[in-house]
Amino acid sequence: MAEKPIQEEKRVFMTGNEVVAWAAVAAGADIMYGYPITPQNEIMHYWTRLAPKHGKKFLQTEDELSAGFTTLGGALAGRKSFSATAGPGTTLFQEPLSMAEMMRIPVVVIVQQRGGPSTATVIYSQQEVNMVTFGGNGEGWRVVYSTATHQELFDYTIKAFNTAWKYRFPTFILGDGYQAKMREPLVMYNPEDRGIEMIKPVASLGLPGTPGKDRDAVHLRNTYSVEEELYDATMPIQEDYEKMSKEVVEWDERNVDDADIIIISHGVVSRAAIAAMNRLREKGVKVGYFRPITLRPFPDEQLQKVAAKCSNFLLVESALGQLARLVKSALFNMPIDNFDTLYKPGVGVTAEELVQRIEKTIK
């Protein structure tokens, strides 16, 4: 029997990619399938170092299509399966993920966003929001956790496996190249030691007994013949998704009750947003903060409630309006005082520039 991956709760100092590998081990992941792409490589580097010590497996595939489809195979066989990718790799992942959506295959994929479009940079962006939320030929039946700190990378990677296996929708951890490479402290723990029950995976195929004799054979498909048949197949999935949404939606809001202006951001950019809010509050400027943690499902109602109090927004992201699209959809038909934006595609955002920007607007 493999030893417990984490003996006791412990404060450690690591890079984000390593955190993900350790979190996957702590979450009881069984197998990772992957293809090298920067900036997620150290997830594979550390998983391959850790896996044999804990009776876990790894397969390096020929490309991301294969990484995605083998991950589906692993989950169908009843093993907690995951992969990690970025940029053009995320593009290729859309095909297997659409199959996961249609067939309710619980896979976990970590995306460390890099610059786009195309090959662009290996470094950083928030330009993969469109892809992870609504990529693929479907309706965006995914859960997407956008993390901001190493502690969150650890916590939400563990949570992602539970969300995937509980609700059977493909689940993303959406990080970025900065989070991947940044070093900062966090506490690692075994989820069970904290009373977090890890959901046991169940096999869809290869069940005990002889099909046709002891039990019915399992016949799975994602193909339908006619419009009505497809409609009948998809509407229950949508119902499940909506029902799940209330349970999994997560957000963070601070200082919104008396705010004159609210910064909306997600992921690593929200660190700058918090810092800017704190500095401006010290100067007496009433700044609030709203951050969706799940980008899918999006905290529509929560944002609407905030907008009812203050709808002077500054939306900031390292992309050209990908978060803004989700936010505008949530705020549709709401009266909005002001919707200012700061778009920096593929470029980081600092607290200083947010402070300057808000000081200029407020005056």
Q: Segment near other proteins (CB under 8 A), from 26-34, 283-291, 295-303, 324-332?
A: 26-34
CB of 18 to other proteins, least distance (A): 7
Segment lying near other proteins (by CB under 8 A), choices 69-77, 166-174, 254-262, 294-302 = 69-77
Cβ at position 255, least distance to other proteins in Å: 23
Structure tokens at 20: 């993900």
Establish if 65 lies at the interface with other proteins (CB under 8 A): yes
**Cβ atoms of residues 86 and 113 within 8 Å:** yes
Taking CB under 8 A as the rule, does residue 193 contact other proteins?
no
Nearer CB in complex with other proteins: 183/309: 183
SS3 of 266-302: the string is CCCHHHHHHHHHHHHHHCCCCEEEEEECEEECCCHHH
Phi, psi (5° rounding) for residue 83?
-145, 175
Closer residue to other proteins in complex, CB, 14/249? 14
Q: For residue 197, give the H/E element and its range.
A: none
Rounded to a whole number of angstroms, the minimum distance from the CB of residue 180 to other proteins is 10
Sites for other proteins among residues 153-182 (CB under 8 A): 177-178, 181-182
- Residue 38, interface with other proteins (CB under 8 A)? yes
Cα end-to-end distance, the chain, whole Å? 65
Nearer to other proteins, 53 or 243 (CB): 53
Contacting other proteins (CB under 8 A), which of 27, 43, 76, 331? 76
CB proximity list for 295: less than 8 A, separation 6 or greater:
129, 132, 133, 144, 145, 146, 174, 266, 323, 326
Read off φ and ψ for residue 91, nearest 5 degrees.
-60, -50
State the CB neighbour count (10 A cutoff) for residue 358: 22
CB of 50 to other proteins, least distance (A): 9
CA angle 29, 32, 38 (to 5 degrees): 125
Q: Give min distance, CB of 329 to other proteins, in A.
A: 29
Shortest distance, CB of residue 65 to other proteins, whole angstroms? 7
- Within residues 96-155, the interface with other proteins by CB under 8 A covers 96, 99, 103, 119, 121-124
| Min dist. Cβ of residue 298 to other proteins (A) | 28
Q: Count of residues for the chain? A: 363
Residue number with CB closer to other proteins (12 or 196):
12
CA of 158: how far to CAs of 95, 108, 189, 190, 326, in Å? 25, 10, 10, 10, 25
User: Please, which residue, 200 or 363, has the CB nearer to other proteins?
Assistant: 200
Residue 362, interface with other proteins (CB under 8 A)? no
